[in-house]
Amino acid sequence: MQSFFATLADAGTSSEWLAIANIILSALLVQWMLRNRRLYRNSREEQAHQRDLIENLSEGIYRSSLDGHQLSANKALVRLNGYDSEQQMLGCVSDIGKEWYVEPGRRDEFRAILRRDGFVENFVSEIYRHKTRERIWITESARLVYDKKTGNPVYYEGSVREITEMMDRLKAEELLSKLSSQVPGGLFQFVRSSAGSYSIPYASRGFRTIFGLLDDEELGRPRRFLDMIEEIDRPTFASVLRTSHETMEPLDIEFRAVDSLGKAKWLRLSAKPEAIDGAVMWHGYVNDISVRKKNEMEIEKLAFFDPLTGLPNRRMFMDRMGKAVQRCRERTGCGTLIFIDLDNFKTLNDTHGHDVGDDYLVQVAKRLKNCVRAEDTVARIGGDEFVIILEGVSEDAAHASRVAIMTANKVLSAMRDDFEVGSFSHRSSASLGVVVFDGKDGRPEEILKQADIAMYQAKAAGRNGMALYDHLSMSTESERYRLLNDFKAALSNDTLELYFQPQMDDNGRIVGAEALCRWHHPEHGTLLPERFVPLTEQFGLIREFGNVVLAKGVAELARWQNLNATSRLRLALNINVQSFSCEDFVPNLTALISHHGIDARLLTLELTESVMAKDRKLIARRMNELKQLGVRLSLDDFGSGYSSLAHLKRLPFDELKIDGSFIADIETGESDRALVKSILGTARTLNLTAVAEHVENVRQEAFLRAFGCDFFQGYLYSPALTGDCFVEFVERRQMGDLLGDLPQIRQSA
pLDDT digits (tens, 9 = 90+) for 46-63: 655 556 656 767 889 999
Would you state the pLDDT for residue 205?
A: 80
pLDDT the model gives residue 180: 38
Query: 228-243: per-residue pLDDT in tens?
Result: 999 999 999 999 999 9
Buried/exposed 483-503: b ≥16 CB within 10 Å, e otherwise: bbebbeebbeeeebebbbbbb
32-38-41 Cα angle (round to 5): 140
Res. 299: pLDDT tops 90 = no
pLDDT of 407 over the 60 cut:
yes
Residue 642 clears pLDDT 60, i.e. is over it: no
pLDDT of residue 218: 76
399 three-class SS: helix
C-alpha closest to that of 386 among 446, 337, 352:
337
561 vs 545: CA distance, rounded Å: 25
Taking residues 492-505, what's their average pLDDT?
90
* Domain 55-170, second-level architecture: 2-Layer Sandwich (3.30)
Cβ density class 46-69: b for 16+ within 10 Å, e for less = eeeeeeeeeeeeeebbbebeeeee
* Mean per-residue pLDDT, 638-666: 77
Q: How many C-beta neighbours within 10 Å does residue 698 have?
A: 12
Angle at 637 between CA 631 and CA 638, to 5 degrees: 90
Q: Across residues 638-660, what is the average pLDDT?
A: 75
Instruction: Give dist(CA 290, CA 298) in Å, integer.
Output: 12
736, 507 Cβ separation under 8 angstroms: no
Mean pLDDT: which of 132-146, 580-594, 629-643 is highest?
Answer: 132-146
In the structure, what pLDDT confidence band is assigned to residue 499 with cuts at 50, 70 and 90? Answer: very high
Q: What was the pLDDT predicted at 748?
A: 34
Average pLDDT over the chain, rounded to an integer: 84
Sign of CA dihedral 407, 411, 412, 418: positive
The CATH class, in words, for 173-288 is alpha beta
176-212: burial string, b at 16+ Cβ within 10 Å, e else? eebbeeeeebbbbbbbbeeeeeeebeebbebbbbbbb
Task: Please tell me the distance from the alpha carbon of residue 696 to that of residue 747, in angstroms, as a whole number.
Answer: 9
Sheet holding 119-129, edge to edge: 70-73, 60-65, 153-162, 134-146, 119-129
SS3 625: helix
Query: What is the pLDDT at residue 675?
Result: 86
Pick 265 or 749 by higher pLDDT. Answer: 265
Q: 336 or 493, which is more confident?
A: 336
Alpha-carbon span 476 to 714, nearest angstrom: 40
Domain 495-740 of CATH type 3.20.20.450: yes
Number of C-beta neighbours around residue 322 at 10 A: 13
Structure-derived torsion over alpha carbons of residues 2, 3, 4, 10, reported in degrees to the nearest 10: 110
Total length of the chain: 749
Q: Amino acid letter at 578?
A: Q
- What is the pLDDT at residue 551? 93
pLDDT tens, residue by residue, 85-103:
988 998 888 888 888 899 8
Q: How many whole angstroms separate alpha carbon 391 and alpha carbon 325? A: 9
Domain range annotation of the chain: 55-170, 173-288, 303-477, 495-740
* pLDDT exceeds 90 at position 651: no
Distance from C-alpha of 253 to C-alpha of 261, rounded to nearest angstrom: 23
Q: In terms of DSSP bridges, do strands 424-426 and 419-421 run parallel, antiparallel, or are they unpaired?
A: antiparallel
SS (H, E, C) 144-198: EEECCCCCCEEEEEEEEEECHHHHHHHCCHHHHHHHHCCCCCEEEEEEECCCCCE
d(CA 320, CA 732): 52
Q: Model pTM?
A: 0.41
Which range, 98-107, 358-367, 662-671, is most confident? 358-367
**pLDDT value of residue 488:** 81
- Angle at CA of residue 451, ends 445 and 456, nearest 5°: 125
Long-range CB pairs of 198-203 (<8 Å, 24+ gap) are 198/222, 198/223, 200/225, 201/281
Report the pLDDT averaged over residues 530-545: 77
Q: List pLDDT tens digits, range 667-677.
A: 877 888 888 89
Point out the least confidently predicted range of 480-489, 580-589, 720-729, 737-746.
Answer: 737-746
Task: Tell me if 65 sits within 8 A of 153, measured CB to CB.
Answer: no
CATH of 303-477 given 3.40.50.720, 3.30.70.270, 3.30.70.20, 2.60.40.10: 3.30.70.270
Q: Output Rg (C-alpha) for the chain, integer angstroms.
A: 41
Instruction: Give the model confidence (pLDDT) of 684-708 as tens digits.
Output: 888 999 999 999 999 999 999 999 9
**pLDDT category, 743, cuts 50, 70, 90?**
very low
The reported pLDDT for the residue numbered 659 is: 83
Interval 214-225: pLDDT, tens: 777 777 777 888
Long-range contacts of 577-580 (CB under 8 A, 24+ apart): 577/607, 577/608, 577/610, 577/611, 577/614, 578/537, 578/542, 578/543, 578/546, 579/542, 579/543, 579/545, 579/546, 579/547, 580/605, 580/607, 580/611, 580/619, 580/622
Domains 55-170 and 173-288 share a fold: yes
Q: What is the mean pLDDT of residues 255-268?
A: 91
Structure confidence by residue, pLDDT tens digits, 539-579: 667 888 888 999 999 999 999 999 999 999 999 999 887 78
Distant-in-sequence, close-in-space partners of 428: CB < 8 Å, separation ≥ 6: 342, 343, 344, 360, 364, 415, 416, 418, 419
Q: What does the pLDDT read at residue 479?
A: 64
CB-based burial of residue 531 (10 Å sphere; 0-12 exposed, 13-18 middle, 19+ buried)?
A: middle
Strand 60-65 relative to strand 70-73, pairing:
antiparallel
Would you put residue 714 in left (φ > 0), alpha (ψ -120 to 50) or beta? left
**Cβ count near 26 (within 10 Å):** 10
Predicted confidence band at 176 (pLDDT cuts at 50, 70, 90)? very low
Instruction: Check if the beta carbon of residue 716 is closer than 8 Å to that of residue 705.
Output: no
> Which pLDDT belongs to residue 728?
93
